[in-house]
Structure 1
């Protein structure tokens, strides 16, 4: 690959170099990493932790991904390639990261501050954050945040396209009109640029103001329950991914932040009347978003 045909992506001062072989490969990288790309000058003080190579065949039927020469993916699905690449970027940026507490969590921004939506795979956080973003919340991430303790627990989001499962698309259909020519589709779902849901996007690292655990349960009525700091801390530990890098495993830091902000659990089975419940129960955060809902 030509030396000129590469890009640097970064998160929390950790960097990955991505080399590519043609314009199609470059377009996949730009789609996936639009909010992670950094200039060479920005990354010059720290060597990239790894080099990934994205290759697309001339007929655009075969896609491959290598890391430092080791094959990570080879196949015919662009979404599968993108999924493998974003997971590798996350691993490299977190493996030795000591800058803060890394959590599997979605996040959005409202006037009041940042709302953390923790949950492991299958909790419904990507679907929920897609709906919130379409309704007017500021998108931050659907997958990963780092909370830095030295700056009052601001949310540093790993901003990427949303990953939506096929089964969730129907629930979102009344609120989101996906542009099929702008998504990466695979057998199990698709990736959609967050600007397609809400073009009014400004990168942000807002202070943590609310922790809300979303839990999708088919057929369930929407319900919000306040959690104690102790239960909230225990639930956050289930989503905590870099404990081994943090002194004392970061447990005291998790406990401290759960004593500072309200913590809620939300069970929902659909989005019907969910905006009204959020606005009535948490007006400081959602009243303005859902005061005149055009479709939410």
Structure 2
């Protein structure tokens, strides 16, 4: 089995005066989840469409399982599945009818299509709702049905373009479990997402893409490390103690801390978080300062994302789980 299931070199796609893809290089290891993380308009969906043979790229090279995407599109299509941002199922048909239809479109015989539909309904816990119209499904059920449809042919490579957009946390977790089980079965997944937590939870490696270019790549921990060291954080009870605590932390940790008057928080980067936390607690106790909270935290993928994608993205609103649309 080849080491990489997806390889691109210098992939470019231009729309008038704008490059949606401006020299994208990717190498996705077989049997892993590779995340494409980036803000709106970064080029994530364009990259997926180009790799899935739905869009002609202007320059560069792309291979799926060793087959050239531009020159061997039929061979590529035999080996891939795609779930887009919006469910592609027919809401007037039942769950089972949808899957049988997709099976027939993939040239399975009638009996084989029915068998495959039943297998997928059981796998995605949709058996009880198999006879109901898909339009009556919840968002999470509809998304699972859409994923099942993309697996009718058991693809070697699966493209998931923002698969949990609009789902509640419980439904999102269901989709995450499904993705993990697919990878355990040997499927390679290229996942685009704006949810930073999603990339952190699922991706073995992440490529951060912005303005049509890959600006960073690595594991989630490697990307977080671009921010720097761990932090010690103290929240004081009395705002009047804020600057005194900042001076204390500066003396103990040997670095200039950051202060936030609105949250009454003082934080500082430290090399050894356990030692720093112990020394700060002792110093605060000796000084008689009352605090509401104290602890350490490591850099987040949110912070790494904002650092890597620059000022344009930092001006956007960022929630606890992802970048606002």
The TM-score normalised by the length of structure 2 is 0.20
Which of the pair has more CA radius of gyration?
Answer: 2
- Ranked by relative contact order (alpha carbons within 8 Å, sequence separation 6 or more), the top structure is 2
The structure that is helix-richer by fraction is: 2
The TM-score normalised by the length of structure 1 is 0.21
